[in-house]
Amino acid sequence: MNKAQLEILKSEITADPLSRGYSGMTDAQISDDLNTTYRERNLNRLDASTVFNAIDKGEYNGLSDANKVMIWNILHLGEINPFGLEATIFIDIFGAGSETITDLAAIRKIPQSRASELGLPVVCEGFVIDAKSI
């Protein structure tokens, strides 16, 4: 871990912005906590095939021809912004509580650790010790 990364780690441990309780943890517990996958990151893009395969077949078959054309037009963009206008149109077409929208909502975020969220590699106990010493 380089000096800039150690500074980020030190700041995280000292400021504890998510109130994880680092001050009451051992160095090993801090590293374990930072490496635990409990955070999520929004994806900026999804490829059309991933989106298409998340569409419930029964719901798709129940769409009007005009809505099917709209879906195909969006999919032909190649990459879809899962938080953009495309998402709004999908919600309008399938309905907010539909299986398709539930499935699409699930794939537009990926789990990550706090360390990853901070742009750090896997944090070992030694890195915590080093960060605290600077």
pLDDT tens digits for range 82-103: 999 999 999 999 999 999 999 9
Check whether residue 54 and residue 98 sit in a common domain: yes
Host H or E run for residue 98: none
Q: Are residues 53 and 36 in the same domain?
A: no
Mark whether 86 and 57 lie in a shared domain.
yes
84 and 51 in a single domain? The answer is yes
The pLDDT of residue 91: 97
In the chain, how many domains are there? Answer: 2
Q: Can you spell out the DSSP letters for 89-132? A: HHHHHH-TTSHHHHHHHHHTEEEEEHHHHTT--PPPHHHHHHHH
Is the pTM above the cut of 0.75? Answer: no
pLDDT at 112: 97
Residues 69 and 102 in one domain: yes
Domain that holds residue 75: 44-107
Closest by Cα among 125, 90, 21, 87 to 133: 125
Residues 76, 91 share a domain: yes
The number of CA neighbours under 13 Å toward the Cβ of 4 is: 3
